[in-house]
Structure 1
Amino acid sequence: MPVSGSRRFLRAPVASKNLLMVCYYFPPLTDVGCKRSVAFATYLKKEGWSPYALSVKNPDRHYCSLGTDAPPDGVPAVYTRSLVNPIKFLGKANGLVDRVLSLFNRGVSRNYFYEFLCIPDFFVGWVPLTVVRAVKLIRAHNIETVYVSCSPFSAALIGVACRRLTGRRLVLDFRDPFGLTLEGSKASRTKERIDAFFARLFLKHTDLLIVTTDETRREYAAQFPQFKEKVVTVHNGFDATHLVTDQPEKFHRFTIIYTGQFYYKFNPSLNMYADNFFSALAQLKKENRICSETFQFLFYGSEQGAIRDYAARFGVEDLVTVNGRVSHAEVLLAMRRSHLQLLRIMKLMLSTKLFEGIPMNIPFLATIPPGEAEEIIRRYSPGSYVITEDSAEKIKGAIVDAMDRYAKGPLPDNHVEEFMDCFSREALTQKLMGHLTPDIS
């Protein structure tokens, strides 16, 4: 069970594999951001390491889901308070400004309170007390390496402070890209400069930066060439303990499922892919190829309003089933009962849904830009449909083809065993171990 922030760990014996893991997202939080760090802690412990977790005691409920999960067995966890969680307050302040400006037929296009008061992000209030506790843990347990999981990227400030105060080795793990200038970004130029400044600061003081895609590694090497030797890839993956052999009965209606963040209004290409998907549904409905009795688009996530708006705009409300966030186990079951999984990604990101869908033998309808995700799907998921062009017609054709093929039998199986050899959490932890302390035999 979690250890209270006011209690001390028993002093650990001197060991070369003592590791401090600074992770905002950690049990009892249940968000997908926890999965990577929890798996690393679990398998590091299995391999004889002594990981100590440091997480947040009062997480921001607007961005986090609090559950009852405990840390991995044998992994002590300590929790520190965030001095302020500003998201709700600054959101209301921005709303007030917008209402005032509306009196003059004006409005605000973005929340400048977020951009200029939350630097580098909303979670900076967690930094001060966590630095103090981290330094105490490092000295009490003879910790040689500090691992920091980001996002939130303000956690990297904790790592840098620990590096400067204790001289211990620092490894930053960026689950998402940060500080890169990317085509189509919705951030302001000023915000991009601020993020780039912090990215340069983090790269200067870290011993190693881990990213989750080779595309991201190459982009950091291009934009920060002086630090390119510090950047390595450890992909996301899937925990073999979640593998199942039994296949539940499929939904009686042909079901395309999407779970999690929909990434709407992020940039023009993502909007295009979303418009094309709903346009394809509208065309199929108009041609009487699908109806509410034979088809559903099943959504789980927090952006329920956006999905309903898309459905209404394209006249397919009767084809769309919208749900809020549910437990990870419920999501996995719904995925396995579905016929296709819609995949949408932002450039340089490999969605967790990709690494869950392949080992669970679910084919994708992937409306994605060309790149690493496309390569992985084509290699390991022969029954999937990958559409990289601006084409509602091709999405429509893929849905029709999948329905016709399913009427004759299941689609080809994914190459699960080959995939797990490369992307199981245990295999990826082995790769991580080589980066944490390269001098350990």
Structure 2
Amino acid sequence: MKPTKKILIISYYWPPAGGPGVQRWLKFVKYLPDFNIEPHVYIPENPTYPLIDEKLLSEVSDKAIIIKQPIFEPYGLASVFSKNKTKKISSGIIPNQKKQSFIEKVMLWIRGNLFIPDARVFWVKPSVKFLKQYLQEHQIDTIITTGPPHSLHLIGLQLKKELNITWMADFRDPWTTIGYHKQLKLSSWAAKKHKDLEKEVMNSYDQLLVTSPTTKTEFEAITSKPIEVITNGYDVEKVNKKPLDEKFTLAHIGSFLSARNPRILWKALKELTKENPEFKKQFQLKLIGAVSAEVLQAIKEFKLEKYVNHLGYLPHDEAIIEQRSSQILLLIEID
């Protein structure tokens, strides 16, 4: 057997964090030891996660070496003014501009202009200082940063400058072209700063990983360095057959953002409930995860609220059960 290779993975999201951001590297870390790779995972000691899923703790590989360091996050201070609004903005649920309160507008301006690239930027310097020593002591020469939050790529960038290491940057979502970026009320200076940091990261890594061909095409306009697509997958052992719902369920699972509000679909469903008595009797709209106020308002506007079963955020294993039992799954992209 060839010698075990050590790698360091720098991630903000890790169990008990819930939501989609945690799944990708939780699963990669689970299977890396099968390829004779020893994963060291660097995570914050006291993070402010918008979603919690305690059950995911049981899925952390016992072969992973977990390293924690304290983090300062201004979201904790912002929650003094409005915990609910802070939580929604932190998870990417941003209200329509016309319906934003004064506090929401201020919070968005601060988030976009003072915390660049994001509110976890205060973790960069202490992390670089700690990890320089850790990498040398443990003889690790390969690191992987995964974002969002893209501040973590700045940790990789600085470590790459100071040490003789191989750096892989994993982008689960884009940076300046992500859906909510334009809603951050950026000044021209802040917008340029985001672009400059993005370009520096894009031209400094050794290998870039993205989740889709679309993101790869976007980034190819910024860098000529290598880019590989590794799509998000699924854990075969977790997917079991389930009986379908008795109702005709149309299910959306995940964050239902304002920019994904399918008004044409709501209109069509309203007409179907008026024209087809059997459809009206059997139809159910199943919503799992955070849903923006604009989406809920549109559903009410089209008189569909009585068909809604809004389950809110569910632990991952329960969300999988609901996914398998739904008649139709609704997947919506930002226009």
TM-score (norm 2): 0.84
Aligned pairs (5 A) from 1:356-371: none
Contact 2:257 2:291 in 1 (8 A): no
Distance 1:218 1:77, change over 3 A: same
- Report SS of the residue matched to 1:345: coil
Task: Report the counterpart of residue 193 of structure 1 in structure 2.
Answer: 192
What is the CA–CA distance in structure 2 between the aligned matches of 1:38 and 1:257, rounded to whole Å?
25
Q: Which of the residues 289, 293, 303 maps onto 1:315?
A: 303
What secondary structure is seen at the aligned counterpart in 2 of 1:44? helix
In the alignment, what sits opposite 1:78? Answer: 67
Q: Distance in 1 between matches of 2:184 and 2:305?
A: 32
Question: In 2, are the aligned partners of 1:82 and 1:127 still within 8 Å (CA)?
Answer: no
Deviations, residues 168-204 of structure 1 (Å, cap 9, x unaligned): 111100000113499x954556354332111112123
In structure 2, the residue matched to 1:60 is: 48
1:239 partner letter: D
Report the equivalent of 1:40.
Answer: 28
Alpha-carbon distance in 2 for matches of 1:291, 1:88: 48
Distance 1:221 1:344, change over 3 A: same
Matched, 1:239 2:239: no
Secondary structure at 1:293 match in 2: helix
Residue 37 of structure 1 aligns with an amino acid whose one-letter code is W
Check 1:298–1:214 CA distance in 2 against 1; reply closer, same or farther (3 A cut).
same
- For the structure 1 residues 75 and 106, does the alpha-carbon distance in structure 2 shift closer, same or farther, using more than 3 Å as the test? closer
Work out which of the two has the higher radius of gyration on C-alpha atoms and give 1 or 2.
1
Identity %: 23
Measure the CA separation in 2 of the matches of 1:165 and 1:82.
Answer: 22
Match of 2:139 in 1: 142
1:252 — aligned with what?
246
Q: Is the 1:308–1:322 contact (alpha carbons within 8 Å) kept by the matching residues of 2?
A: no
Counterparts in 2 of 1:246-395, with a 5 A limit? 247-264=241-258, 266=259, 270-271=260-261, 274-289=262-277, 293-303=281-291, 305-346=293-334
> 2: distance between equivalents of 1:47 and 1:209?
20
Aligned equivalent of 2:152: 155
Pair 1:107–1:146, CA change in 2 (3 A) = closer
Q: Deviations over 1:201-235 (max 9, x none)?
A: 2123211211111121111112x1xx223322222
CA distance in 1, matches of 2:159, 2:278: 58
The CA distance in 2 between the partners of 1:155 and 1:82, in whole Å, is 12
Alignment partner of 1:229: what SS?
Answer: coil
Matched, 1:171 2:168: yes
- Relative contact order (C-alpha < 8 Å, sep 6+): which is higher? 2
Shift, 1:167, TM fit: 2.1
> Partner letter of residue 54 of structure 2?
G
CA contact (8 A) 1:20 1:54 kept: yes
Tell me by how many angstroms 1:76 deviates.
0.8
| Distance in 2 of aligned mates of 1:206 and 1:127 | 17
**Aligned-pair Cα RMSD in Å:** 2.9
Aligned counterparts of 1:87 and 1:300: Cα–Cα separation in 2: 26
Q: Determine whether 1:20 maps to 2:14.
A: no
Q: CA deviation at 1:293?
A: 3.4
Distance 1:37 1:291, change over 3 A: same
2:95 paired residue number: none
Give yes or no for contact 1:90–1:114 (8 Å, CA) kept in 2. no
Distance 1:248 1:181 in 2: 34
Aligned residue type for 1:81: P
Gaps of 5+ in 2: 86-100
Separation in 2, partners of 1:170, 1:316: 49
Q: Deviations over 1:261-312 (max 9, x none)?
A: 1121x3xxx44xx111111111112213456631100001122644431221
CA 1:126/1:292 → structure 2, altered by over 3 Å: closer, same or farther? farther
Amino acid at match of 1:125: F
- Give 3-state SS (helix, strand or coil) of 1:330's partner: helix
Change (3 A) 1:255 1:196: same
Q: Which amino acid aligns with 1:212?
A: T
Aligned 8 A contact 1:17 1:144 in 2: no
Structure 1 26/207 Cα, relative in aligned 2: closer, same or farther at 3 Å? same
Q: What's the offset of the Cα at 1:91? A: 8.5
1:65 shift after superposition: 1.8
* Counterpart residue type for residue 265 of structure 2: F
Cα pair 2:208 2:228 within 8 Å, conserved: yes
Q: Specify the alignment match of 2:98 in structure 1.
A: none
